[in-house]
Amino acid sequence: MEMAQSLERYLRSMDVAFSIHPHEMETSLSKLCSEMGIGPEQTAVPIVLRTQKQAFLMAVVPLDHSLDLDRLSGLLRREFLYLDEAEVSAWFLDSEPGAEPPIAEPYELPCIVDRSLFEQPRVFMRAGSHRALISMDNANLQRLYQAYPKAVISNPSVLPLSDEPLNRTDPTSIIAIYNALDNLDRLPSIPVLAMQLLEQASSEQTTAAELASTIEMDPSVTAQVMRYAGSPYFGYRGNLDSVQDAITRVLGFELVSNIALAIASSKAFNVPQEGPLGMRAFWKHALYTAVLAQSLAKKINRPQTLNPPRAYLCGLLHNIGVLLSGHLFPQEFRLLNHEMERYPQRSLSDIEQNLVITGDVQRFIRLGHDHLGGYLLEKWRLPQAVSTCAYYHHDAEYVGEHAEYVMLIQLCNRLLAQRKIGDLGRTELHAVQTGGLISDADAFSVLEKVMAMCPELDNLADNMAA
């Protein structure tokens, strides 16, 4: 099949002249255009959207552009969400998945077209098959889209064009994405309180009173530290009247510093509370990972290479890239949330690599929440073990510096996946590999003790998310 039948019938009924360009089977449109000598600016692609009230829309943009959802929403005075792959395929029953044509009428969809396409003498597009493109000259393109509104609804991409999975071992691609991240005006700076806490934690001269005084500058962080210290998890039965009491009587300097640092850091992000990737789910995953990592580190008992308080902070912040993704790309984050809800058996990393979006945001999302988080924590100058765990907590082959912390966080994630906590999905519920850090029996024994504290940990996570 070179063309979807409904599309061919429609084009002929509209008297739109077009040419067919057969080719070998190829699912990557960017690669195909490169091989055929077709400019991405003269290649039209469809993006199917919906509103909360289930009104649908096809937006047609050039291959080398990113859809501007904010601008589109402003133009049409409604908020749009991306459709996932299954929802898109349901509209194009006679097309191969991923080869949907940017022509709305045969599929009874309303449509809006980016104006820049009409500057091209000839425009190419998919026609329902991965074995042929079609093209038409400007006059026929005008005839094809004459009934649809035209507007500037996209922006030129700044990253190298590719719709293939990102090669995360290619330093050229990664550096280009990091450079583009640096140029985003929404990239959050480290909160002032977090910076002050980092400075105090790095100084051996800082006293418990000075640390308490800094934390007490922020009432919400103070309240969270006090709730944490009063949790049944720590078993302290006396009265706690101040943060300094929490430090000296219950938690200790390093743990209080780490808890406050994580809570203060999370204030840099504006993300939804609910959903499998929302703030509540983030803190539940973070807190369980932190407590489990600290408990395992104590059991392993190698404080020179696995310091329990440092392991705790690695656990709290290893997934901070999820918050950064939600903060930078709220519309795409909604789609990620939707996909995680719809396909709980899939891992977040797998969904990120296959998300049906276009343009620069696709490249940022495919970089992965792990690399996004590691890059941000490195920019914020958090301890290297913490940023390394964020970078590599999905890389089972990592053998570099702080590898034991990385292995520990990976072990925590695999153990918690057994209890449906985290983002590994249900497909990874295989035998837990401890990496030689600890015996299987000891690992599961520690897990059982942590899970026995579920009510207390869930309550703490809810408070931290509030």
Distance CA 357, CA 376 (A): 23
Neighbours of 238 (CB within 10 A): 9
Query: Do the Cβ atoms of 457 and 233 come closer than 8 Å?
Result: yes
Q: Say whether domain 269-465 belongs to CATH 3.40.50.970.
A: no
The residue type found at 329 is: F
Q: Which residues of 116-149 are buried (b: 16+ CB within 10 A; e: fewer)?
A: bbeebeebbbbbbbbbbbbbbeeebbeebbeeee
What pLDDT sits at residue 172? Answer: 59
Distance CA 308, CA 298 (A): 6
The 3 state secondary structure assigned to 257-305 is HHHHHHHHHHCCCCCCCCCCCCHHHHHHHHHHHHHHHHHHHHHHCCCCC
Sorted by where each begins, the domain ranges of the chain are 5-156, 269-465
What pLDDT sits at residue 169? Answer: 56
Q: What is the mean pLDDT of the chain?
A: 88
> Which H or E run includes 391?
helix 384-392
What pLDDT sits at residue 165? Answer: 55
Helix residue ranges, H only, 37-191: 69-76, 85-91, 138-144, 171-182
What pLDDT sits at residue 184? Answer: 74
pLDDT tens column, 226-245? 988 888 777 788 888 899 99
Distance CA 142, CA 317 (A): 52
Model's pTM, two decimal places?
0.78
Distance CA 369, CA 373 (A): 6
Give, to the nearest 10 degrees, the angle between helix 308-317 and helix 384-392.
50
What pLDDT sits at residue 14? Answer: 92
Distance CA 312, CA 409 (A): 10
Neighbours of 301 (CB within 10 A): 9
What pLDDT sits at residue 384? Answer: 94
What pLDDT sits at residue 171? Answer: 56
Which residue positions in the chain have pLDDT lower than 70?
Answer: 1, 158-174, 356, 427-432, 434
What pLDDT sits at residue 158? Answer: 66
CATH architecture of 5-156: Alpha-Beta Complex (3.90)
What pLDDT sits at residue 36? Answer: 93
